[in-house]
Structure 1
Amino acid sequence: MKIIISNSSDEPIYEQITTQIKNNIFSEQLNEGDALPSIRNLAIELRISVSTTKRAYEKLEMEGFINTVHGKGSYVAGQNKELLRERKMKIIEDKLTEAIEESKFIDLSLDDLKELLDILSENTK
């Protein structure tokens, strides 16, 4: 599992970690029962504080993405694929709503916005 931290991001480091681990679970690069690096080892690898990685793992556990067994480590929890899909859909809906709201500030039409989405979609294939 590779996690990349951006110091120039507005997103807090613990959120960057949780987002990337969630994305690895969504994309099935991490599967149920897979062990995550220890909090200490991940902190060393990323050159960040242990408290930051601990916070990320606590958030992931609270949201049901991982289970932590005291003294043994943290593991990917069993996931309801439909629930995961719904969570991801909600994130996409929120971002699209934000894009629509932002487009209104520059009088970008819905057709122009759709065209932009088509162009971006083609560029990510």
Structure 2
Amino acid sequence: MKIIIKNKSDVPIYEQIEEQIKTQILEGKTEENEQLPSIRQLARDLKISAITTTRVYNDLAEEGYIISVTGKGFFVAPRNNDLLRERMLCEMEEAMEKVIVTGRNAGLSDKEIIGALKKFMEE
């Protein structure tokens, strides 16, 4: 599992790690039922506190991305198509919001923004 921490980022380290693990799971780079590094191993690999990795794993388990198996560790949860769809819908909405704000800042009307989106979809 490849995780890159940007120390100069405004995003807290635990959020950076969570997002990267979520992305790897959703993109299929980390397989269903694959065992994740232990909390201590991940902390060692990333040179961060085990408290931080514990928070990451707990948050991911609470959101349904991973599961904890007592005495064995953490594993990627079975693929949940509803979760995947919801996540992608959320990402699409965020991207569309940026497009709309950028278009309006450029002085485009809603009709022009919609036209540009339709043209982009046709390509």
Normalising to structure 2: TM-score of the pair?
Answer: 0.81
Counterpart selection for 1:110 from 106, 109, 113: 113
Deviation at 1:89, TM superposition (A): 1.8
1:123 corresponding residue in structure 2:
none
1:121 corresponding residue in structure 2:
none
Extract structure 1 runs of 4+ deviating beyond 3 A.
none
Deviation at 1:11, TM superposition (A): 1.4
Matches within 5 A, 1:16-95: 16-95=16-95
Deviation at 1:59, TM superposition (A): 0.7
Deviation at 1:71, TM superposition (A): 2.3
Number of residues paired by the alignment? 118
Specify the SS of the correspondent of 2:75: strand
Specify the SS of the correspondent of 2:93: helix
2:14 corresponding residue in structure 1:
14
Could you tell me which runs of 5 or more consecutive residues in structure 1 were left unpaired when the two chains were aligned.
Answer: 119-125
CA–CA distance in 1 between the matches of 2:63 and 2:91?
15
Specify the SS of the correspondent of 1:7: coil
Deviation at 1:82, TM superposition (A): 4.0
Deviation at 1:51, TM superposition (A): 0.9
CA RMSD between the two structures: 2.5
Aligned CA distance change for structure 1 residues 95 and 12 (closer, same or farther; 3 Å):
farther
1:122 corresponding residue in structure 2:
none
* Greater Rg by CA: 2
Deviation at 1:25, TM superposition (A): 0.9
Could you tell me which runs of 5 or more consecutive residues in structure 2 were left unpaired when the two chains were aligned.
Answer: none
Aligned amino acid, residue 74 of structure 1: F
CA–CA distance in 2 between the matches of 1:24 and 1:90?
17
Aligned amino acid, residue 18 of structure 1: E
Report Cα offsets for 1:8-35 as digits up to 9, x if no partner.
2221111111111111111111121100
